[in-house]
Amino acid sequence: MDLLIYLMVFGPMAAAILSYLIGRKSKACRDGFVWAAVAGEFLLSLCLLFLFGNEAGERLVALEGVCGFGLTFTAGGFRCIYAAIASFMWLITGLLSPEYFAHYRNRNRYYLFQLITLGATVAVFLSGDLYTTFVFFEIMSLCSYVWVAQDEKEGSLRAGVTYLAVAVIGGMVLLMGIFLLYQEVGTLIISELAAACQGKNLWAAALCMFVGFAAKAGAFPIHIWLPKAHPVAPAPASALLSGILTKTGIFGILVISCNILVHDELWGAFVLVIGVITMFLGALLALFSVNFKRTLACSSVSQIGFILVGVGMLVLLGEENTLAARGTFLHMVNHSLFKLILFLVAAVIYQNTHKLDLNDIRGFGRKKPLLKCCYLLGALGIGGVPGWSGYISKTLLHEGIVEYLHAMEEGHLHASILSAGSVKAIEWIFLISGGLTVAYMCKLFAAVFLEENRDAQVQAAFDERKPYWRSVSGFALTAAAVLIPVMGMLPGLTMDRLADMAQGFLGVHHAGHAVHYFTWVNLKGSVISIAIGALVYFLVVRGWMMENGTYVNRWPEWLDLEEKLYRPLLVKLLPGILGWVCGVMDKATDVLAKLLPSLGAGIAGVMDIFTDGIVVLLRKTIYRDSPQQGELEEGNALTHVIGVSLNVLEELLNKTIWRHHEHRKDLEHWFVLKYSAFKENATVIGRSLSFGLVLFSIGLCATLVYLLIAALI
């Protein structure tokens, strides 16, 4: 297992460097090499899944001393499945990327960071401790920034700044949480946390870690990077950002919920509330959007909310959380596949039209049946329509909410933090959010594949455009899309087996009762959501959101959190307040320095004498040196050897070159003094705040140099 994991983590990173060098000579060879490297990664992930996917326990693989604390990896059902999903998504996007990037600049740079990010993403899922998770989480975040800024246009660079700011701030808060956790429990090994965390108050650490992971997942209120980054990032990169990188954030939240605050009702309610807000807000933003990729980005926010609702319910349900846990995992898998398909459809549209506004791309897919079919498979899946895989995971999530509600009504939960009315409201928000999903998917389908463009010449150009994709791109997209109905129609053979393999990571060790997915009790929730979606589409989208046959963005500008809250707060308000505080403190320091110089010097002198006296007293009593046989009078073995050698050299020179002017000096004692002074200065400097700030500045400069090099490659 050791070699297999090392190849999966570090193999893509080594291939990244080789791909860059090959790309300097031949672009075609570079494209083939990149795809071969990703295909190799996928085969390795399948081997790992086959060999270790069903293991109940986890065996740690450690690289001692690397990055200071060492790096630890492990395998298991959940981890192996998501490593395979990540590799599969890179494989499918790799088949379409050469066609999509045919007219792009800096393709070498893109592929370099794409492969590094692949290795880092797989490493996050295979990480055995939270320190390893953090190291590769940050590598993944920094390298994927290049994807967002790939175009180097104003919008891309601005979105890149947003993405990088969220990633860096989230990463630093995550690191603080990891420090707090380690201080309290003394371990970061994930498999040891459940036992080590029992009976301890770890809320501060958990909240800090949640902020860091939720920033990457795209949860409210730090979801702002998704709607900003996806419209400007290349579509294959958007598929990976939305489909797989967000799941690294969910991975971290699951570690907290299933290993640190296990069955903590307050934590479960907190995650549930965040999930409900994220779920509904994302669906609402997607409904209002008139940009194809922005709609998909906001949809990702909503689907992350669905997953967080599942996480909240699996915590609240305690030992009876099997359905919620399985639904959470399966919706993670489903969302990865949905966004892979839908963003690749967006890639085909953009590479043919170079536009994403619904009014501009209207009618593009009217006479493209295979592209239309691929979109429909993804849209029906994400809409939770029976017969498609999304229905299975959404049914399990809904059943988790219903189970909790029944337990409350029957009196099995004696002191719940939530009321029955609030849980019922959450159930309806869940169903309404599913309805909004159906509505905005219908909006995209009608605009691109059913309606005609208002410009007849543009519509004629769309209809006559053949071929609109290469056969290999069509094969890749179709192969991924077919998985959705297969998994949805055969859940017992596909999805239930995946859930069985993964549920151990979620703290579930029993199968729970069987779910009959296609009975009316379970179909009813899907029917309600579809009915709500149809009403919203025909009454709201076709009515209020269209004006003279044109799609109109009705979302108020003043509700833009980034432009109206975060940027003013971080760029203007916070620096202004801190600058004012620093100014006041500088002035106060100057006043005190003028008024109390003599008093300050006197106090300092008394304190020096007092502390020196205590030190001398302790050295003469409690901490006096014990005599040891063979102990040197001064210095250590190193200074003694060097000093004796210098004395011998001095004596030799006195008898030769310096025989008329001999030098008589105890060089051993001289070297001991110099060595002691150097060591004392190094200790003082190493413990000083200034030295820490210098190191921080060097690190910051190194980061900036890295970003500049990335921009120029």
Report how far apart, in Å, the C-alpha atoms of 222 and of each of 217, 242, 251 are: 9, 15, 17
Return the pLDDT at 710: 55
Helix-strand-coil split of the chain, %, nearest 5: 75, 0, 25
Question: At 73, which helix (H) or strand (E)?
Answer: strand 71-73
Q: Which residue has the higher pLDDT, 684 or 334?
A: 334
Return the pLDDT at 513: 66
Q: Which of 548, 541, 530, 538 is nearest to 287 (CA)?
A: 541
Q: Are 75 and 58 in contact (CB under 8 A)?
A: yes
* Residue 547 CB coordination number (10 Å): 9
Residue spans of the domains in the chain: they are 1-225, 263-554, 556-592, 639-713
Question: Is the pLDDT assigned to residue 517 strictly greater than 90?
Answer: no
**CA 527: distance to chain centroid?**
34
End-to-end CA distance of the chain: 35
Q: Please write the tens of the pLDDT for every residue from 570-600.
A: 666 666 676 677 677 667 766 666 665 555 5
Among 3-17, 32-46, 306-320, 639-653, the range scoring the smallest mean pLDDT is 639-653
Return the pLDDT at 529: 92
Q: Which residue has the higher pLDDT, 510 or 315?
A: 315
Return the pLDDT at 511: 64
Report how far apart, in Å, the C-alpha atoms of 379 and of each of 125, 439, 559, 599 are: 27, 10, 27, 76
Q: Please write the tens of the pLDDT for every residue from 168-219.
A: 889 899 999 999 999 888 888 998 888 888 878 889 999 999 999 999 888 8
In the structure, what pLDDT confidence band is assigned to residue 629 with cuts at 50, 70 and 90? Answer: very low
Q: Please write the tens of the pLDDT for every residue from 260-276.
A: 988 888 999 999 999 99
Eight-class DSSP state of 541: I
550: CB partners within 8 A, 6+ apart: 359, 454
Q: Are 304 and 390 in contact (CB under 8 A)?
A: no
